[in-house]
A and B are shown apart, each in its own frame.
Chain A
Amino acid sequence: EVQLVESGGGLVQPGGSQRLSCSASGFTFSSYAIHWVRQTPGKGLEYVSSISPNGANTYYADSVKGRFTVSRDNSKNTLYLQMSNLRSDDTAVYYCVKDLLARPVVPTYRFDCWGQGTLVTVSS
């Protein structure tokens, strides 16, 4: 069974940093692009970032570009999202999501399996 488990959420002050992790199991992690998608009651679902299977290619939404960094450790089946210079509008539930197909470079952006999410709250 495919499983994605996020961790690392919590309360962080504006301007601060936080690192999210996503532990994967049940599939060949190194063969799939993985994404981060966030959700808020007000703005709904918002794409955040993606990383190719070997980690060489990364993609970001304009809203997080230059502040967030996605990375992966295929030896540990783990995905990371390093977030810095956090703002109040980054407050959201962050989901780790597996791409539908095992493609080497360009993801399909079809979001196959989702983790349970981790809540990040940016507030003083």
Chain B
Amino acid sequence: DIQMTQSPSSLSASVGDRVTITCRASQNINNFLNWYRQKPGRAPNLLIYAASTLQSGVPSRFSGSGSGTDFTLTISGLQPEDFATYFCQQSYSSRVTFGQGTRLEIK
């Protein structure tokens, strides 16, 4: 299976900050990379698919980039609701796999 590795595992930031989360695949997945945000006690929700396409209704402060094996999620201008856990996921293979998550905490 394709291994997805996120970094960092956790980070602290303040409202208004710009943060970047990285996801690395163990093999080339082209742009078959998706990002999710999971607020505490809630289900994940899709933010970005195909590495850089913003899902409908998702604020423009979220952006994604990358292809091949290295990908990033950037949040420009953190809002209180963004303090949550973020997951990447590859959909290149039907043997879908997720990253372990990055917990974003308030500094």
**Contacting residues, chain A, for B14 (C-beta < 8 A):** none
> Once the chains are docked, how many angstroms separate the CA of A76 from the CA of B17?
46
B96 touches A109 (CB 8 A): yes
Stretch in A11-19, A66-74, A112-120 touching the partner: A112-120
Count of inter-chain pairs, beta carbons less than 8 A: 49
Stretch in A23-31, A42-50, A80-88 touching the partner: A42-50
Interface membership of B44, Cβ < 8 A = yes
**Contacting residues, chain B, for A109 (C-beta < 8 A):** 91, 94, 96
**Contacting residues, chain A, for B52 (C-beta < 8 A):** none
**Contacting residues, chain A, for B34 (C-beta < 8 A):** 110-111
* Interface members, chain A 42-65 (any B CB < 8 Å): 44-47, 50, 59, 61-62
Interface membership of A100, Cβ < 8 A = yes
Chain B window 11-23, contacts with chain A (Cβ cutoff 8 Å), 1 for yes, 0 for no: 0000000000000
Interface membership of B64, Cβ < 8 A = no
B97 touches A112 (CB 8 A): no
A59 touches B94 (CB 8 A): yes
Interface membership of B87, Cβ < 8 A = yes
Would you give the shortest CB distance from A73 to chain B, in whole angstroms?
23
* Interface members, chain B 51-101 (any A CB < 8 Å): 55, 87, 89, 91, 94-101
A114 touches B98 (CB 8 A): no
Q: Please report A residues at the B interface, Cβ cutoff 8 Å.
A: 44-47, 50, 59, 61-62, 95, 100, 107-117
Q: Please report B residues at the A interface, Cβ cutoff 8 Å.
A: 34, 36, 42-46, 49-50, 55, 87, 89, 91, 94-101
Return 27 A-B CB contacts under 8 Å, by A number: A44-B87, A44-B98, A44-B101, A45-B98, A46-B98, A47-B95, A47-B96, A47-B97, A47-B98, A59-B94, A61-B95, A95-B43, A100-B46, A100-B49, A107-B94, A109-B94, A109-B96, A110-B34, A110-B49, A110-B50, A110-B91, A111-B34, A113-B46, A114-B43, A114-B44, A115-B43, A116-B43
